[in-house]
């Protein structure tokens, strides 16, 4: 694990415009291990621990402006003029937010199991979501107990026990305070109208069995973006890049090959 600008990260490969991977709420830098290992031979790829996670310093307040700012600091310290942002779930939201704030720094967006706005327009949906995600903790449970309850519910029917165990371990390592804060941040996200202004190429990858960021939602999102392609991996749930790493890596590689001669 390496560190820059208060951010802990993993890194693989070298040369070309780097891919910077941003994990989801229950993840960590290691959540993109299949991409670090599978794409590192052909691309320069990094994966961060989100602020407050793993070895990364926390930020306050936890909101998308601050998280995007921290991402910008990290990229600047690393000396990256432009990057391909690869975001899963809330990581995809951070990627979108950063691309809207700093379009000159983003060559492309690769968005996995994410949406342009949290939930529906009904405010009660937010309350139900937070109650569901925090229920085990509010009842006095641990992050491991919360993870053991949640992870099997968000993966696809074909997810292996190894994937479930690994994802459960990642989520169990998330500090409780960081988990609460990022959930409160998540439910504020709404870039539904702003994505019309994103003009860099985008590759959207959905899981056919994902109930958290449904494929139909991501497909609609792709149609509203200026230059986006949409892919669905039928047997994957929400943890698309871990459940089906081979298909995910092929889609990413082909997207970069078609759109960027130097990757």
Domains in the chain: ranges and CATH? 2-259 (3.40.50.1820)
Contact at 8 Å (CB) between 179 and 58? Answer: no
Query: pLDDT digits over 152-211, tens only?
Result: 999 999 999 999 999 999 999 999 999 999 999 999 999 999 999 999 999 999 999 999
Q: Burial code of 218-234, b = ≥16 C-beta within 10 A, e = fewer?
A: beebbeebeebbbbbbe
pLDDT in tens, 41-75: 999 999 999 999 999 999 999 999 999 999 999 99
Q: Say whether pTM exceeds 0.85.
A: yes
d(CA 233, CA 157): 13
- Predicted confidence (pLDDT) at residue 9 exceeds the cutoff of 80: yes
Contact 253, 39 (CB under 8 A): yes
């Amino acid at each position: 694990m390496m560190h820059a600008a208060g951010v802990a990260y993993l890194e693989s490969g070298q040369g070309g415009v780097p891919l910077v991977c941003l994990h989801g709420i229950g993840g960590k830098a290691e959540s993109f291990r299949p991409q670090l290992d599978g794409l590192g031979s052909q691309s320069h790829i990094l994966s961060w621990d989100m602020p407050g996670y793993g070895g990364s310093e926390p930020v306050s307040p936890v909101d998308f402006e601050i998280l995007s700012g921290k991402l910008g600091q990290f990229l600047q310290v690393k000396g990256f003029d432009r990057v391909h942002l690869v975001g899963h779930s809330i990581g995809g939201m951070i990627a979108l937010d950063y691309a809207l704030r700093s379009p000159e720094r983003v060559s492309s967006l690769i968005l996995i199991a994410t949406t342009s706005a949290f939930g529906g327009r009904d405010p009660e949906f937010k309350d139900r979501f937070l109650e569901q995600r925090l229920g085990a903790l509010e009842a006095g449970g641990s992050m491991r107990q919360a993870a053991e309850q949640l992870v099997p519910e968000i993966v696809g029917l074909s997810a292996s026990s190894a994937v479930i165990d690994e994802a459960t371990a990642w989520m169990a390592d998330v500090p409780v305070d960081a988990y609460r804060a990022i959930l409160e941040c998540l439910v504020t996200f709404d870039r539904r109208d702003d994505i019309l202004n994103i003009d860099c190429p985008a590759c959207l990858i959905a899981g056919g069995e994902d109930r958290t960021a449904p494929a139909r939602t991501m497909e609609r999102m792709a149609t509203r973006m200026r230059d986006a392609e949409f892919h669905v991996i039928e047997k994957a749930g929400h943890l698309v890049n871990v459940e089906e790493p081979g298909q995910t890596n092929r889609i990413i590689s082909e997207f970069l090959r078609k759109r960027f001669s130097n990757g």
